[in-house]
Structure 1
Amino acid sequence: MSEPQIDAAPIVFASPHSGNHYPEEMVSALCVPLMDVRRTEDAFVDELFSNAPHHGGTLLAARFGRSVVDLNRDPHELDPAMFHDGPPRACALPTPRVEAGLGCLPRVGARGEAIYSRLLYKAEGERRLSGIHDVYHGQLSGLLDAQRTRHGRALLVDCHSMPSVQPGRRNLTDIVLGDRFGSSSDARLVNRLERVFRNHGLTVARNAPYAGGYTTRRYGRPKRGIHAIQIEINRGLYMDEQAITRAGGFSALRPIMDAVIVEMIAAIRELTER
C-alpha cells in the first residue's frame, strides 16, 4: 500500500490483478508454462496509477498474481472439484464463472486451458484465501471505513485491464466504466470520470461488457457514503499482451491516468463538501 504524500483525500485506487508473484507451491503444480498463467494479469495497471499518492490518493496494489487467488471474486466462489480433500471454505451456489474455471481460485489460464497437473489440497486453498484474499480486503475495507468516518464519504476506484481481442466482441472500446448500472456510485462521479477519458480522445463504454465485479458490489454503497467505480483499460493501448511488456503507448497513457487521478480526487472532495 502507498499512502498519500500530500493532504489525504477520501479515495483509494485499487489494483487487485496487477501482481506478478507466484508461490513455489503453486508453480510446482502447474501443467502449463508460467507465462500462460501470467497472461491473466492486469500487468502494469499499478504503474499507470502509481502517481495517486503524489496527488493525495491511496494506492492499494496486489502482490500476488490473479491466478493465485482472484481478489475480485467472493471467497466462497469456489469449485469443490478442484480439491483432493474438499474445498477450504463453504462453496456458494455454482456461478457461470466458477463453471468456466474462473472462481476465486482459478483453475484455467488465459486461453481457458486447465493449469494444474493435480488436484489442490484444502490447506493450499485456505493459505491463499486467508493469507492473501482476507488480508487484501481487510486492508481495503479498513481504509474505506476510516475515510468515510473522517470525511463522510469515500471513493473506491477499482483499476483493471481487459484483453484487446475477445471472442464474439468486435470494436472493443478503450475504456469500460462499471458502476453496477448506477447502483455503486453517485452518477456525478462517473460522469466526470468518463469526461476525462473522452477529453483525451479515448472511447468509453459503461457497464458493457463489464459492470463491476465482487469488489464494486461489496463496497459500492452510495447511501452509506462509499462509492465504487470499476475501470477497465484496453491492454492494446499500452502493452504487448503476449510478451507481457510495456508498449509504446504506455508512456502516452500515464499522463491521462494522472489526469484521471486529479479529477477524481477533486470530484470526491467536492462531493464531501456539499
Structure 2
Amino acid sequence: MTPVTVRQGSGPIVLGLPHTGTYVPDDIAAKLNDNGRKLTDTDWHIDRLYDGLLADSTSVTANFHRYVIDANRDPSGASLYPGQNTTTLVPLTDFDGKDIWDTPPSEADTEDRRRKFHAAYHAALKEELMRVKAIHGIAILYDCHSIRSKIPFLFDGTLPDFNIGTNLGATCGRVIETATYGLCRAEDGYTTVLNGRFKGGWTTRRYGKPEQGIHAIQMELAQSTYLSDEAPPWSYDEIKATRLRRPLSRLLGKLAHIAINGDLT
C-alpha cells in the first residue's frame, strides 16, 4: 500500500488527514502486543465524514496507522505539550497509557519509519499547499482529527464536540479563527472550545504561516458526535454523521469564501 493518497482539487482548501489510516506493515504488526493490534487510537471514519463536503477541495491522507509513526508529531521527537501526558513520534502507549508493543521500536526503527512514512506524508502535503497557493495566492490547511470524548490519561472530564486549534492564533489569520469559532459556537446541540486541550499539532504549527499566505487550523472532533459508540467496532452512525456534516460543510464553505474573497488580516 502507498503511504499517502492525494486527491487534488482546484479550490483554496487542503484537508489533512494524518490519523485515519489503519495500514500496519506485517513486520511492524508482528511487534505490537494484543492491545496495540486493536488500533484503538484511530481517527475512525474521519475520511468518510469529510468526503464530499466541499467541492474542489484537496485532501492528503496518511494510509498508515499512527502506531507505525505519528504524522502529526515533530520528527525530532520534541513534545507538542510539555508537561502533559501525550503520545510520542512512534507511540509507546495508547491514549489510556497502556503499552502497545511486545518489541518497542529502536532508534533505527523510528528513523526508518520517519523516512518511509512521515516524510512521505509531509512531502505530499507541502506540495499540495504550494500548488494551491500558486493558484489562489493563499492556501488554508484544515487538519481533520477526531478522538474519544473521555480519556482520563489525556484530559479531565468530557471533551467538547468541536476543538479548534490555532496555536493561540499564530497559525492562521484572525478572520479565519473568528469565523471558525463563531460558526461552531452557533450550532445548537454542540459544544465548542478554541485552543483548549488541543491547540493544534505539529502539522498545524509547521505549515501555518499567515504572513507567507498559508493558514492552518486543526479541528479535533469528539467521536461521540458521529460514532454509534466510542468503542469497538467503532461504527459510523449515519444519523449523527449526517447532522454533523451540515455544520462542517458550512464551515468549509465559509473558509473557502474567505480565502477567495476575504480580508485575512
* TM-score tier after normalising by the smaller chain length: 0.7 to 0.9
**For residue 8 of structure 2, what is the aligned residue in structure 1?**
3
Say yes or no: does 1:102 pair with 2:87. yes
Unaligned 5+ residue runs, structure 1? 78-91
Shift in alpha-carbon separation, 1:110–1:170, aligned structure 2, 3 A: closer
Select the residue among 213, 216, 236 that pairs with 1:246.
Answer: 236
Cα distance, 1:249 vs structure 2 = 1.3
**For residue 31 of structure 2, what is the aligned residue in structure 1?**
29
- Aligned equivalents of 2:244 and 2:86: distance in 1? 32
Cα distance, 1:200 vs structure 2 = 2.9
Deviations 1:106-161 (A, max 9, x none): 11123211111124345532332111100110011111122223322111011111
**For residue 147 of structure 1, what is the aligned residue in structure 2?**
132
Larger Cα-atom Rg:
1
Q: Check conservation: 2:183, 2:251, Cα contact below 8 A.
A: yes
Deviations 1:191-235 (A, max 9, x none): 222233233322211000111111111011111111111101011
- Aligned equivalents of 1:273 and 1:73: distance in 2? 27
- Aligned equivalents of 1:149 and 1:272: distance in 2? 18
Say yes or no: does 1:271 pair with 2:262. yes
TM-score by length of 1: 0.84
Letter in 2 for 1:2: R
Q: Check conservation: 1:153, 1:272, Cα contact below 8 A.
A: no
- Aligned equivalents of 1:224 and 1:71: distance in 2? 23
Cα distance, 1:64 vs structure 2 = 0.9
Say yes or no: does 1:161 pair with 2:155. no
- Aligned equivalents of 1:49 and 1:207: distance in 2? 22
**For residue 187 of structure 1, what is the aligned residue in structure 2?**
174
**For residue 14 of structure 2, what is the aligned residue in structure 1?**
12
**For residue 57 of structure 2, what is the aligned residue in structure 1?**
57
Shift in alpha-carbon separation, 1:96–1:203, aligned structure 2, 3 A: closer
Quick check: 118-127 or 130-139, which moved more?
118-127
- Aligned equivalents of 1:107 and 1:114: distance in 2? 6
Q: Check conservation: 2:29, 2:37, Cα contact below 8 A.
A: no
Select the residue among 88, 93, 115 that pairs with 2:100.
Answer: 115
Shift in alpha-carbon separation, 1:61–1:237, aligned structure 2, 3 A: same
Deviations 1:222-251 (A, max 9, x none): 111111111010111111221122134123
Q: Check conservation: 2:72, 2:202, Cα contact below 8 A.
A: yes
- Mapping of residues 87-98 of structure 1, within 5 Å: none
Q: Check conservation: 2:204, 2:217, Cα contact below 8 A.
A: yes
Say yes or no: does 1:172 pair with 2:151. no
Q: How many residues align?
A: 254
**For residue 251 of structure 2, what is the aligned residue in structure 1?**
260
Shift in alpha-carbon separation, 1:28–1:101, aligned structure 2, 3 A: farther
Say yes or no: does 1:225 pair with 2:213. yes
Q: Check conservation: 1:18, 1:42, Cα contact below 8 A.
A: yes
- Aligned equivalents of 1:222 and 1:99: distance in 2? 28
